[in-house]
Amino acid sequence: MQLYAVYTTVTELGDAERIAHMAIERRLAACVQRETIQSVYRWQGNVEHATEVRLLLKTTAAAYPALVAWLHEHHPYALPAIYALPVAAASAAYVQWVEAEVAPPPTVA
């Protein structure tokens, strides 16, 4: 199965924590890492400098469409940067773990 590393940024640590927790809770990602970064970008004609929190969400290709739809719905930015990089290689055990954590839980009969 193909894994994706999905990146996005937010301004507030609270938003980063909320997105990370909810993505894991909803099984849209197996793991979310966050780090504080300094960004320089052009927005509405002005050059901006901002401290942001970059999120790396680890998911499967199958879960990616649902993750992106959910991020667009819950992201605090009007135009969020959300992009995915395919994972070229990962250990079989790690791939199995991501698949298991992103898959819907089994139903009890």
User: What is the structure's pLDDT at 109?
Assistant: 59
Nearest to 55 by CA among 81, 77, 74, 35: 35
Per-domain residue ranges of the chain: 3-102
Supply 21's token pair. Answer: 């927790």
Read off the pLDDT of residues 9-24 as tens digits, 9 standing for 90 and up: 999 999 999 999 999 9
User: What is the structure's pLDDT at 54?
Assistant: 98
User: What is the structure's pLDDT at 107?
Assistant: 62
The stretches of 1-109 forming alpha helices (DSSP H) are 13-25, 64-74, 92-102
Rg (CA), the chain: 15
Read off the pLDDT of residues 22-35 as tens digits, 9 standing for 90 and up: 999 999 999 999 99
User: What CATH code is assigned to 3-102?
Assistant: 3.30.70.120
Question: 78: part of which helix (H) or strand (E)?
Answer: none
